[in-house]
Amino acid sequence: MKTYHFEIVIVGAGPAGLAAACAAAESGKRVAVLDDTPWLGGQIWRGEQARPSISQARKWIERFRTTGVTLLDRTSVVAVPRRGLLTAEHPEGPRAIRWQQLILATGARELFLPFPGWTLPGVMGPGGMQSLVKNGWPVAGQRVVVAGSGPLLLAVADGLSKHGARIVSINEQAPFAQVAGFGLTLLAHPSKLWQGIQIKWRLLGIPYRLGVWPVAAEGDTQVRRVTLTNGEKNWTENCDALACGFGLVPNVELALALGCRLQNGFVQVDKWQATTVDDVFCCGEPTGIGGADCALIEGLVAGYAATGQRSRAADLFYKRAHWHHFRERLAKAFALRTEVRQLASDDTILCRCEDVTLARVRRFSGWRDAKLQSRCGMGPCQGRICGAAAKVVLGWEMESVRPPILPARVEALLVLNGNSNGPAASPLSKT
C-alpha cells in the first residue's frame, strides 16, 4: 500500500477545499488535497478546469495551482482506521494517508425523494445531469422537465439549454410567497441577484412555476411522461428526461466516522471551523447549505485556523456572517412542503440498491431496525440516497456510519487491522 505523510490533509477539491488549501499553503506546511474525481472544482465547478466559464472558478483553480499543494485526485476515502490516518481507494490501488490536521470539505449531494416512477432511467438529479452534460452526456434536442426545489433548478435549466436541451418547464415546489421573500434577500447580495437576473433573462419563454411539484414519472424503458400538480389539478408533460432534486444534503459520512458531533444534520463547528474532534476542521456545505461563496469563505477560515494563522482567519468573520445570513434565508425560502414528503405510494421503491419498497420499511421503528430487517440502506450506496429520503419521508435519523464508508477493495481494508503498510503486493481483486 502506498503511504503518504502530510501535515495538513484536506478532503474535497470543491470551492471550500480549494480555498482551505490556498490559505493553509500560506503557512509553508506540507498540504495535500484529496478528491474523488479526476477534476478540480468539486461538483459545483465541474468542467471549469477543462473549459472555464465562471471567472470565480477559474481564479480559484489558478490560485490553487500556484500554491504547490499536492493534489491526490481519484482518491476516495474509505475509512479512518485510527487518529491521524485515512485509508483511501485509488484506481491504481489503496492508499494510506497520514495527517496532523484534517480539513473536511466533502460538499453536498442532491436530495432525492421517492415518487412513483423515480427509478426510471432518465430521471436524474438536476445537478447530476448538469455534471454529466459537462462531461459529454448527450442532451441536444432532448425535452427536459426540471422539477424539485432550490436555486439550482434555474441554473441547471440554463446550463442544459446552453447544451441544446429543450427545457419543457421548470417547477419549484416552494410557493410564491416563500420564494418572493428570498428575492428581496438577494438585494443584500448583489452578485447573486445579478446572476439570477441574467439566468432568468436567458430562460424567457420557459415556464418557471412556483408551488408545482411532480407526482409521477412514466415510461417503459425510460421516462417519457411526467405528471405534475399544483395541489389542485394534475397535468402531464411529455419529456425525454426529468431533472428532479429537492435541494441538497450535506456529505457528513466522513465526519461521522471521525466522531464529529452533528447539529440538526450538519457538522457542528466553532468560529474557527473546528469540529468537536481535535485537529479536525470542516467547511462548506457539510456545516450548512450556503453555496460556493459561503464555502470559499469558510474554507479560507478553516485553512488559516488549522495552520495557526488565526488573525487572518478572524479577518474573515464579518464576511462569513454575511454569507451565513444568505444561507439562513436560502433554507427558509426553499423549505419543503408536506406534500412532497408524501409522494411515494406503498409499492414505490425507497431503497434503489436493494429494491426495498416504502411499504416494507414503514412498519419498522427506525433506520437501524429497517436496515437489519429489510436490507434497506445496505446496498452499495450505503444508504446515502434512501437514508436521506427516509429522514425526510419517515423522520428517521442515521446516527452512525460503519467502515468502509464507500465500497472498497479488500486491500484497502487490510489497513483497518492496524497495519498501515499493508501488503506489499496483494493478489486480492475487487470484492
Partner 1 sequence: MDESIELRVNGTPVKVPPGTVVAAAVARAGVVKFRTSVLAAPRGPLCGMGICMECRVIINGDAHSRSCQTLCAPGMDVWTT
Closest distance of CB 110 from partner 1, Å: 6
Contact 145, 332 (CB under 8 A): no
Is 148 or 303 the residue whose CB approaches partner 1 more closely?
Answer: 148
Is 212 or 243 the residue whose CB approaches partner 1 more closely?
Answer: 243
| 292: CB partners within 8 A, 6+ apart | 14, 15, 44, 45, 56
Calculate the dihedral angle through the C-alpha atoms of 310, 262, 403, 423, rounding to the nearest 10 degrees: 10
Is 31 or 108 the residue whose CB approaches partner 1 more closely?
Answer: 108
Specify the long-range contacts of residues 65-69, CB closer than 8 Å, at least 24 apart: 67/21, 67/22, 67/25, 67/31, 68/25, 69/21, 69/22, 69/24, 69/25, 69/31, 69/32, 69/33
Closest distance of CB 243 from partner 1, Å: 10
Contact 103, 17 (CB under 8 A): yes
Closest distance of CB 279 from partner 1, Å: 27
- How would you classify the pairing of strands 208-210 and 166-172? parallel
Closest distance of CB 309 from partner 1, Å: 32
Closest distance of CB 351 from partner 1, Å: 9
Contact 66, 78 (CB under 8 A): no
The single-letter DSSP state of residue 410 is H
Find, among 93, 60, 69, the residue nearest to 6 by Cα.
Answer: 69
| 204 Rama class: left (phi>0) / alpha (psi -120 to 50) / beta | beta
Cell numbers for 35 = 478528491
Closest distance of CB 313 from partner 1, Å: 29
The total of other beta-carbon atoms located within 10 Å of residue 338's CB is: 6
Is 204 or 425 the residue whose CB approaches partner 1 more closely?
Answer: 425
Closest distance of CB 42 from partner 1, Å: 9
Contact 321, 177 (CB under 8 A): no
Is 15 or 303 the residue whose CB approaches partner 1 more closely?
Answer: 15
Closest distance of CB 308 from partner 1, Å: 34
Residue 138 parent element (H or E): none
Closest distance of CB 420 from partner 1, Å: 25
Is 220 or 232 the residue whose CB approaches partner 1 more closely?
Answer: 220
**Count of residues in the chain:** 431
The single-letter DSSP state of residue 309 is -
Is 22 or 108 the residue whose CB approaches partner 1 more closely?
Answer: 108
| 301: CB partners within 8 A, 6+ apart | 23, 272, 273, 283, 313, 316, 317, 320
Is 43 or 307 the residue whose CB approaches partner 1 more closely?
Answer: 43
Cell numbers for 137 = 452526456
Residue 292 parent element (H or E): helix 291-306
- Which residue type is seen at 361? V
Is 75 or 287 the residue whose CB approaches partner 1 more closely?
Answer: 75
The site for partner 1 (CB under 8 A) is made up of 36-38, 43, 47, 50-51, 74, 76, 109-110, 112, 119-125, 127-132, 135-138, 221-222, 251, 352-355, 379-381, 384-385, 407, 430
Closest distance of CB 190 from partner 1, Å: 30
- How would you classify the pairing of strands 95-98 and 85-89? antiparallel
Is 137 or 266 the residue whose CB approaches partner 1 more closely?
Answer: 137
Helices 367-374/384-394 angle, 10° precision: 130
Closest distance of CB 401 from partner 1, Å: 14
Is 37 or 307 the residue whose CB approaches partner 1 more closely?
Answer: 37
